Structure 1
Amino acid sequence: MQERPYENEDLLQTLVERHPELLAGDQMNPASPRRWLLISREMAVPDETDGSARWSIDHLFVDQDAIPTLVEVKRSSDTRIRREVVGQMLDYAANGVVYWPAKMMRSQFDGVCRSRNEEPGEVLSHFLGQDGNGDQDAFWEAVDSNLRSGRIRLVFLADQIPTELQRVVEFLNEHMSRVDVIAVELKQFVGQGIQTLVPRLIGQTAAAKQKQEQAIRRKQILDKDTFLATLADGVDKETTDTARRVVDWMQQNTDALTFGTSSAIGSVKLNGKNVNPFLLYSNGMVEVSFGNIRGNSSFRDQGKRTELLEKLNLIMGIKIQQDRIEFFPKFPLSALQNEQALHQFFDVYRWTVDEIKKG
């Protein structure tokens, strides 16, 4: 196979849009490979509040930790890849963190999904579900928080990264504490009717890797013991005891008990997929994942989700509004401290599991 340049920049941009794994997320963080959710291609960047677009960034993604990731694509034949692209990217970043409200990013994401005939809630639920964290509202809040604090990632992608750009990337990556700056070289090899794309990460020095490892240590996947210990730090003993009983019930009555960075999930396996009806969070809240289970045939009908809502609302201390049956509402775990309430919840949970398996 022989290396071949890309015919044009639009082709390279389209490849990244359709196959974001080409951003080398596995090389950025081998312990926790980055996954990408496309917010928009040619994302408008204003330079004032409610202003029109002054620039546009080639791609805007967020990863599973809600970190906005700006991607600028250039071919090596474009002389701007050497210096000018750095100034462009810093303009985008400096203005994006100020003038991109999360609600606008959410609207852009919704538009991209609908242009592909996909349901935004289902796409995001699947994306978040891979880490066992299905709270969509909390995810967008985290996106907004990361933007406002300047916790972002800048990615320069080209078929060949020139030495001048590599040096700038390494310098920025070492000296910008909140911003990860990455270059990805994406070469194309063609031969005998086969196309192979080979991404290579450039610009991660030893100091930059140490910074990343420190961030990983701050956010570890929990297990049963560490989940309960984390929860116990923030709630009273009665709520901790209730949490232990709920987790034990999940372990005995669902197909799989898994943990995220802040949640316990009792999953129901159906046709090779996990359906997560309820999540228990380490802050002492219980999520009812209507937005997740509505993808199951049994709960696709609004009436069935309403039935679940009504069963839950019969439990004293739980009051979920009707308009939340498309989303991920929560109620306090402390509502289940009463023995009768806890057994009512287990009955509802068991009914939900049985209904999911019918689908």
Structure 2
Amino acid sequence: MASQQSIFVVNADGELTKMRAALPPSENSLQELIQRFPDTISGGNGDLLLIQREHPISDAESGAGRWSLDHLFVTRDAVPVLVEVKRAADTRIRREVVGQMLDYAANAVAYWPNGRVAQIFAQSCEKLGFDPDEQLSRFLGSDADYSAFWSRVDDNFRAGRLKLVFVADQIPAELARIVEFMNEQMIADVYAVELRYFEGDGGLRTLVPRIIGATERANAKRIVTPLYSASSPSEWFETWIAPLGEDYTQALQHLTSLVDELGGEWRIPRKTQGSAGVIVKKGEQERSPLSVQKQGTVCIHFGNAKVWMDDEPRKAFFDRFVSAVGRLSNNRDDGYPSFPLQRLNGETAAAFITVARDWIKAAKDS
């Protein structure tokens, strides 16, 4: 054991408990604590949402998982956080873990397709018996544009805007020097968390985190300017949809005409800029029934509709949309499925407009 220091906890009754420095029982036990209490490794930089523990990462576009990442989180700013956990007793914590993490990050950036992180999150929640939209609502807030959030996560992955986090009960000096160097040189935010582990009588445990890598030079490098800021919805459409081609711009005209007809408005999320959402109002209340994503898809906000519509009519609308435009990106009538915008041409446009008119009016009149 590297250190014999102790810490002392005073409870509400004024009683003192001595906590002795100890080794975590296993790497798995340390991983479980991080899964349950991600604040221990956030460094005070905001909450983390767990996407998956032990996520497989492949080294080819369609390959099976070659490696297993200990934890994948995202921040509220849609930044992916890759976490690798080791015990100090594991000799790989000195240098090998760095190459391991870079393998994970490089291949995740190269081979994870759009929508992959959102899909993983939904699968993980369902496996644990949680509702994905409910978990996301708790994390982002009920009025957040979930589709735009996942789109921003995808954008950050492709651009390499990640957080790479090394965690151990003791960080050796060799790793600390490497982490500080990487954090000053890379686009990615790289840091280590020394999560000191203490035990007391009666099974009491204490974790004491220390962040390594947040040097002044690295913090100065983190001054980030927005990649894009639309001054109006029309500018946003011109920037993202027009370059996709005439089929997309013609299809968009059908949708914008309908929104104007029903008294709706377009709104661009200030932070993400990843979508143009349709907003309708009733009194002081605002509803967002659908949006156009910058990759050229229409996202239908069934997840939002859970607030203003019962299950049966919502499922009926799902079936009507499928009949109008064909297969959606997923079968969740309580989620955020999408379809290519260019489908809204020809006969499909009329069928979609009929359903969308009822859908938007239902959101407005609820």
Does TM, scored on the shorter chain, surpass 0.5? yes
Is 2:49 aligned against 1:36?
yes
Give the aligned length.
304
Is 2:156 aligned against 1:156?
no
Supply the distance in 2 between the matched residues of 1:209 and 1:109 (Cα, whole angstroms): 30
Tell me which of 121, 124, 144 is aligned to 1:109. Answer: 121
Is contact 2:280–2:364 with CA below 8 Å preserved after alignment?
no
Instruction: Name the amino acid aligned to 1:24.
Output: S
Q: Secondary structure at the match of 1:326?
A: coil
Instruction: Name the amino acid aligned to 2:111.
Output: Y
1:12 Cα deviation from its structure 2 partner = 0.3
Tell me which of 17, 25, 28 is aligned to 1:7. Answer: 25
Is contact 1:71–1:155 with CA below 8 Å preserved after alignment?
yes
Partner of 1:26: 44
Is contact 1:58–1:73 with CA below 8 Å preserved after alignment?
yes
The 3 A distance-change label for structure 1 pair 80 and 275 is farther
1:56 Cα deviation from its structure 2 partner = 1.5
Is 2:63 aligned against 1:45?
no
Instruction: Name the amino acid aligned to 2:100.
Output: Q
Greater displacement, 298-307 / 6-15: 298-307
Partner of 1:218: 226
Instruction: Name the amino acid aligned to 2:161.
Output: R
Structure 2 unaligned regions, length at least 5 = 1-7, 9-18, 239-255, 342-357
Deviations 1:147-191 (A, max 9, x none): 3332222110112222221110110111112x1111112223444
Matches within 5 A, 1:206-355: 206-214=216-224, 217-218=225-226, 229-231=231-233, 233-234=235-236, 261-262=272-273, 277-278=288-289, 289-294=301-306, 296=307, 299-304=309-314, 306=316, 325-328=333-336, 348-352=362-366
Supply the distance in 2 between the matched residues of 1:322 and 1:81 (Cα, whole angstroms): 47
**Aligned-pair RMSD on alpha carbons?**
4.5
Supply the distance in 2 between the matched residues of 1:120 and 1:301 (Cα, whole angstroms): 16
1:36 Cα deviation from its structure 2 partner = 2.2
Partner of 2:79: 67
Partner of 1:170: 180
1:289 Cα deviation from its structure 2 partner = 3.0
Partner of 1:334: none
Deviations 1:229-274 (A, max 9, x none): 55475479xx9xx7xx868xx9xxxxxxx97655888999xxxxx9
Is 2:196 aligned against 1:187?
yes
The 3 A distance-change label for structure 1 pair 116 and 345 is closer
Is contact 2:280–2:363 with CA below 8 Å preserved after alignment?
no
The 3 A distance-change label for structure 1 pair 52 and 287 is closer
Partner of 1:88: 100
Relative to the length of structure 1, the TM-score reads 0.65
Q: Secondary structure at the match of 1:197?
A: strand
Q: Secondary structure at the match of 1:14?
A: helix
Greater displacement, 65-74 / 11-20: 65-74
1:104 Cα deviation from its structure 2 partner = 4.5
The 3 A distance-change label for structure 1 pair 282 and 185 is same
Instruction: Name the amino acid aligned to 1:26.
Output: G
Instruction: Name the amino acid aligned to 1:72.
Output: E
Is contact 1:309–1:322 with CA below 8 Å preserved after alignment?
no
Supply the distance in 2 between the matched residues of 1:286 and 1:87 (Cα, whole angstroms): 40
Supply the distance in 1 between the matched residues of 2:208 and 2:34 (Cα, whole angstroms): 12
1:309 Cα deviation from its structure 2 partner = 10
> In percent, how many aligned pairs have the same letter?
39
The 3 A distance-change label for structure 1 pair 301 and 182 is same
Is contact 2:152–2:272 with CA below 8 Å preserved after alignment?
no
Supply the distance in 2 between the matched residues of 1:195 and 1:61 (Cα, whole angstroms): 24
Is 2:217 aligned against 1:198?
no
Matches within 5 A, 1:130-145: 132-135=144-147, 138-145=148-155
Structure 1 unaligned regions, length at least 5 = 28-32, 221-225, 251-257, 269-273, 313-318, 332-343, 353-359
The 3 A distance-change label for structure 1 pair 309 and 112 is closer
